Structure formats: structure tokens, C-alpha cells
Amino acid sequence: MAPEAILKILQETFPDEVTEVMPEGVHPHAVVRPDRWHDIALFLRDDERLGFDWLRCISGVDHIEDKLLTAVYDLHATGKPDTPGAMWHVRNEIAIKVHVDRDNAHIPSVADVWPTADWHEREAYDLLGIIFDGHPDPRRILCCDDWVGHPLRKDYEFPLEYHGIPAVTEYGQTRPQH
């Protein structure tokens, strides 16, 4: 299905939650509100026309000027072939962007909808500080357990030392250059 058709179905079913659609370009996506994101995710997965069963990636982005954190969900719908032993194909392909407030970043977790989201959401929490409500295991995954701060935020200050090991960067630079 073309991206326009997919986004039309989404807009008709959830007219209040979908704030923006962008069917053209290399990355067609829709922007939805975080409040009912879990219901939207279930709809995306279970609807027969859409059938998005493969969550490819959750990317977190820090838009510091707009004071927003964004989680971008890239989805695929796999199509089984009619004859056994033939190639599978892509039925649908779309991306969903969810914007949340930078100071109060809560998004409902979709780890029960797509089990692969479990680790992706932990990574988004670890590196950006987006809190996923209802996640079965909300801990840091990549950085140390007692790490302070969320490193991929644009205003992150590099630590000067960690448990006695000094952290030296070029010319003692610790502030990011954004």
C-alpha cells in the first residue's frame, strides 16, 4: 500500500491523535500524540489492511530548540507469499514520530505489542531520558548502572572522572559544541 493510503487509514481511525502526516519524501511518517500511542500501536499491528508486525527501530531525537524529545518508530508489514517457498515481500512501510515535552518525557511502552521494543526503549531511556510507562524492565542498558545524565541530550556535560578514573578529552573540553 502507498504511504498516502496508510496514513489516510490512520487518520480516519484516530483523528484527534494524529497531528501531522507527511506522505512524500524519503521517509514518509505521521506524528501522533503520546497519550493513546499504545492503542494506536495495537491498531497498527492488528488491523488486516495494515498488519505492521515488524518494528525495525526506535530512534530517540533531542530537539532542544523546540523543547521536545521525539521517538521515531520505523515499522514494516511483512507479506507472506501465496506459494510456500517463495520470497516474502513488504506489504507496508511507515514511520511514526511521537513528540513529548523535554521536562516531562513519558510515552506509553509498546513492549507488549512488539517484543523487540523492550531493548530499544531501554536504550532510548538510557541515552535520552525518555521514560516509557509500563515497560517491564526500565533500567539503563548501555551506560553504567550508576551513570549520571543522559548522554545524547544536546546539553549533556561530559563527566570529569568516574570512580577514580579520569576522563580526559581534547584540551580538557567537556562541554558539547552545540
Interacting residue ranges for another protein, rule: CB under 8 A: 25-27, 29, 45-46, 53-57, 59-62, 72, 74, 78, 81, 85-90, 95, 112, 114-116, 118-119, 127, 140-144, 151-152, 156, 158-159, 162-163, 165-170, 173, 176-178
What's the closest the beta carbon of residue 104 comes to another protein, in angstroms?
A: 21
- Give CA–CA dist 41/61, Å, rounded: 20
Integer Cα distance of 121 and 171 in angstroms: 35
Nearer to another protein, 15 or 177 (CB): 177
- Residue 12 CB, shortest distance to another protein, in Å, is 23
Copy the grid coordinates of residue 105: 518525557
Q: How far is the CB of 19 from another protein (least distance, A)?
A: 17
Task: Answer for the pair 132, 125: CB distance below 8 angstroms, yes or no.
Answer: yes
In angstroms, the Cα distances linking 31 to 73, 115, 126 are 10, 22, 23
